Chain A
Amino acid sequence: MAQAIDRPIPVAGRQSEERRESYTALVWRKFRKSKIAIVGGLMTIMLISMGTFADFLSPTDPITPNMQSAYTRPQAIYFIDADGTFHLRPFTFTQKQVLDPATFLPNWEPDLTKPYPIYFFVQGYQYKLLGLFPSRLHLYGVEKGGTIFVIGTDKFGRDIWGRVCVGTRISLALSLTAALIIIAIGSTTGIISGYYGGWADNVIQRLIEFLQSFPALALWLALAAVIPITWNQTLIFIAMSAIFALLGWTGLAREIRGKTLALRETDFIMAAKEMGASDRRIIFRHLFPNCLSHIIVVMTLTIPAIILAESFLSFLGIGIQEPLVSWGTMMREAQSLQTLGSNPWLMWPAAFILLAVLGFNFLGDGLRDAADPYSIV
């Protein structure tokens, strides 16, 4: 009798299908409904692609200086030439410097004598795709003798667009590393603090309060200044991640502790104890997965915070140094008002910082709404 009621009533004329109702499927379904979340997701994917395929997207070598093109104005792309003819293939003009007759200040003018058609999927400088496969393929480029700087060049004549793409790697990777460290330390500490309580909880909470009362910038400056110059790039990268994580884990620890305190009283945790589950099993198999949605959301919101912090420090000249490229180090060139006044395109990296921060924030917002579709607490 009981079985008849429990089995699903078959719909006439159709086989009852096993719809995948896993947790991930549920989250995705809810996520899809929020336009902002999708936008954020796309922006994030775009940024990650920029970083991964940086060399493919860059027409010229972003590292090697090219002094004769220093501080070039962004080049316009044209489809219609001087005679009014429409060309399917866009073209551009290289810039040449002319002295203004009145002020004797250098001005950039397009050299209209020779249009350079823009070709796609061209052969250019050598690089390693994904760090493994040697390749010379680039998305776009012009023939030898011409230049194509879509958002101008910097002090050393390097294409800013190419450098922005390369800078994405460091900026994203650093914030991701720091976020992962924050998650590792913060969630562990939070769960231990909430689950065990007692003196461990007391000590950890006082430590968190101590760390949170530190002025972050001062601490970062001090720690970054202590990094030995002799360290190689990888070590500096790891050190900077650790520095950002050092003060960042406390917020997550507090939140996870709260969540653990709530989860601890639920029946399924009591059921696990009643079965004889060890503390370790309860923490990793029961508490942690129920905190995971919260952790993922915090991660997507921590990353932009660290991107901003890293940009800020690099802008001040602390931490990431040349030849490593990050958005912050690129902003360093935009420091002097005079330089910025003559070459306003040096500000472009800020737009990408903005894009990254917005993108991750939108993504995090969407995830927060979508995660925990059927949670208990």
Chain B
Amino acid sequence: MALSDNVILEVKDLKQYFPIKQGMMQRVVGQVKAVDGVSFALREQEVLGLVGESGCGKTTAGRAILRLYDPTAGEVWFRMEDGERVEIARISQREMKPIRREMRMIFQDPFSSLNPRMTVRDIIGEPLVIHKIASGRELEQMVEALMRNVGLDPNYMQRYPHQFSGGQRQRIGLARTLALNPRLIIADEPVSALDVSVQAQVLNLMQELKERLGLTMIFIAHDLSVVEHMCDRIAVMYVGKIVELAEAETLLKRPLHPYAEALISAIPAADPDIKQKRIILTGDIPSPANPPPGCVFHTRCPYARDICKVEAPPLELVEPGHYASCHFAKELHLQGIEVTA
């Protein structure tokens, strides 16, 4: 990947392992390889979707990038507003604090991501207080503006989270995320906990804000139809690794990795008359504490051969802008779906 000037985030071989401890002396007996060598480059104002089933490591990857965990290995390069590139996987939490202003996260669960004992004003204003940006009347004015930005009535400032619906709470979380004018937002399944109708509202809001504020986003989700709507590029993850990375439309029309094909075939069509031919994968997802040798998908792959059991395929460029980690990416003709604009 050429290092073009407008790359805002570059992740190089990021690994996040969690030790498994046992016994009274807490001996380390194994590692949960939640993120096992993830690499990608993110351009300014791009929305990258990070999809995969539960447990594939997408949330952990997002948190590792934001230094909510200390990465086990790998590099994360972030380009600050002034153009300076900083490596953030190794720095201390204290050095990370000013960088946190530029990269923020939206959380998944609107019910547990807001402190039930704080008013909305305090919740949204907290980042401003922590980074000493404003206080008192000025703080309130900024909170008012943020609330209006996300479509909330500023009169509700003194209320508590339990007085709001799920969609409104997610907006509060969004306002909190945007408080410091970040340039990069990692949205960790922001609409998964909401009703479909409310999902649409929140997604539209996010899209509008992205355009207005020039945001770059990593959109973590497990629902491909949501990701199709929001994202420019999509990366598919499986057991801690990226198995395919391509432009959204290309990936959905012509996937190159069997797992991506299976995921795409599972997207429900909005027509009850269409008989969907779903690819049902045999077996269970392997445990990240004990990933299979060779290609991590070979235990469930309908196209697996002997080489897949021993040699792990690297994530390589198969077509322009389209990466896949499969030995037979060029040969397999996999089924995609028609993408409506």
In whole angstroms, what is the CA distance A373 to B204 when docked? 33
Q: Mark B134-167, 1 if CB is under 8 A from A, else 0.
A: 0000000000000000011101000110110000
Could you say which of B71-79, B102-110, B282-290, B328-336 contacts chain A?
Answer: B102-110
Could you say which of A3-11, A48-56, A174-182, A321-329 contacts chain B?
Answer: A3-11
Across the two chains, which residue of chain B brings its CB closest to A288? Answer: B117
B116 A374 Cβ-Cβ under 8 A: yes
A22 in contact (CB, < 8 A): yes
Please tell me which one of the listed residues B68, B113, B126 contacts residue A277 in the complex, with CB atoms under 8 A apart. Answer: B126
Please tell me which one of the listed residues B112, B126, B131, B160 contacts residue A21 in the complex, with CB atoms under 8 A apart. Answer: B160
In whole angstroms, what is the CA distance A259 to B96 when docked? 29
In whole angstroms, what is the CA distance A202 to B92 when docked? 25
Residues of B within 8 A of A18 (CB): 155
B163 A21 Cβ-Cβ under 8 A: yes
Across the two chains, which residue of chain B brings its CB closest to A8? Answer: B153
Across the two chains, which residue of chain A brings its CB closest to B114? Answer: A268
B130 in contact (CB, < 8 A): yes
B108 A267 Cβ-Cβ under 8 A: yes
A134 in contact (CB, < 8 A): no
Across the two chains, which residue of chain B brings its CB closest to A286? Answer: B115
Across the two chains, which residue of chain A brings its CB closest to B151? Answer: A2
In whole angstroms, what is the CA distance A285 to B107 when docked? 20
Across the two chains, which residue of chain A brings its CB closest to B180? Answer: A275
B162 A374 Cβ-Cβ under 8 A: yes
B115 A270 Cβ-Cβ under 8 A: no
Q: Mark A254-277, 1 if CB is under 8 A from B, else 0.
A: 000000000000111011111111
B201 A2 Cβ-Cβ under 8 A: yes
Residue from A273, A375, A376 with most neighbouring chain B CB atoms (10 Å): A376
A376 B130 Cβ-Cβ under 8 A: no
Please tell me which one of the listed residues A1, A5, A266, A273 contacts residue B68 in the complex, with CB atoms under 8 A apart. Answer: A273
B309 in contact (CB, < 8 A): no
Q: Would you give the shortest CB distance from B109 to chain A, in whole angstroms?
A: 5
Q: Which of B79-97 contact A (CB under 8 A)?
A: 96-97
Q: Would you give the shortest CB distance from A377 to chain B, in whole angstroms?
A: 8
**Interface range, A side:** 20 to 34
B114 A274 Cβ-Cβ under 8 A: no
Q: Would you give the shortest CB distance from A15 to chain B, in whole angstroms?
A: 13
B116 A274 Cβ-Cβ under 8 A: no
Residues of A within 8 A of B63 (CB): 270
In whole angstroms, what is the CA distance A23 to B115 when docked? 12
In whole angstroms, what is the CA distance A1 to B167 when docked? 14
Residues of B within 8 A of A274 (CB): 66, 68, 100, 104-105
B153 A7 Cβ-Cβ under 8 A: yes
A281 in contact (CB, < 8 A): yes
Known contacts A23-B160, A270-B107; A276/B115 CB under 8 A: no
Known contacts A6-B168, A21-B159, A268-B114; A281/B130 CB under 8 A: yes
A6 B151 Cβ-Cβ under 8 A: yes
Residues of B within 8 A of A3 (CB): 151, 153
Across the two chains, which residue of chain A brings its CB closest to B97? Answer: A276
A123 in contact (CB, < 8 A): no
In whole angstroms, what is the CA distance A7 to B101 when docked? 30
A276 B107 Cβ-Cβ under 8 A: no
Residues of A within 8 A of B105 (CB): 271, 274
B127 in contact (CB, < 8 A): yes
In whole angstroms, what is the CA distance A267 to B155 when docked? 26
A75 in contact (CB, < 8 A): no
B112 A266 Cβ-Cβ under 8 A: yes
Residues of B within 8 A of A375 (CB): 116
B18 in contact (CB, < 8 A): no
Please tell me which one of the listed residues B107, B126, B159 contacts residue A267 in the complex, with CB atoms under 8 A apart. Answer: B107
A65 in contact (CB, < 8 A): no
In whole angstroms, what is the CA distance A292 to B118 when docked? 13
B153 A267 Cβ-Cβ under 8 A: no
In whole angstroms, what is the CA distance A96 to B115 when docked? 69
Q: Would you give the shortest CB distance from A196 to chain B, in whole angstroms?
A: 14
In whole angstroms, what is the CA distance A22 to B122 when docked? 14
B176 in contact (CB, < 8 A): yes
A290 in contact (CB, < 8 A): yes
- Taking beta carbons and an 8 Å cutoff, which residues of B are in contact with A? 63, 66, 68, 96-97, 100-101, 104-105, 107-109, 111-118, 126-127, 130-131, 151-153, 155, 159-160, 162-163, 168, 171, 173, 176, 201, 204-205
Supply 24 A–B pairs (Cβ within 8 Å), ascending by A: A3-B153, A6-B151, A6-B153, A23-B117, A23-B160, A267-B108, A267-B112, A268-B112, A268-B114, A271-B105, A271-B113, A272-B115, A272-B126, A274-B100, A275-B104, A275-B126, A276-B96, A276-B100, A276-B101, A277-B126, A285-B118, A289-B115, A289-B117, A290-B116
Minimum-distance CB pairs A-B, first 5 = A267-B113, A374-B162, A2-B151, A276-B97, A289-B117
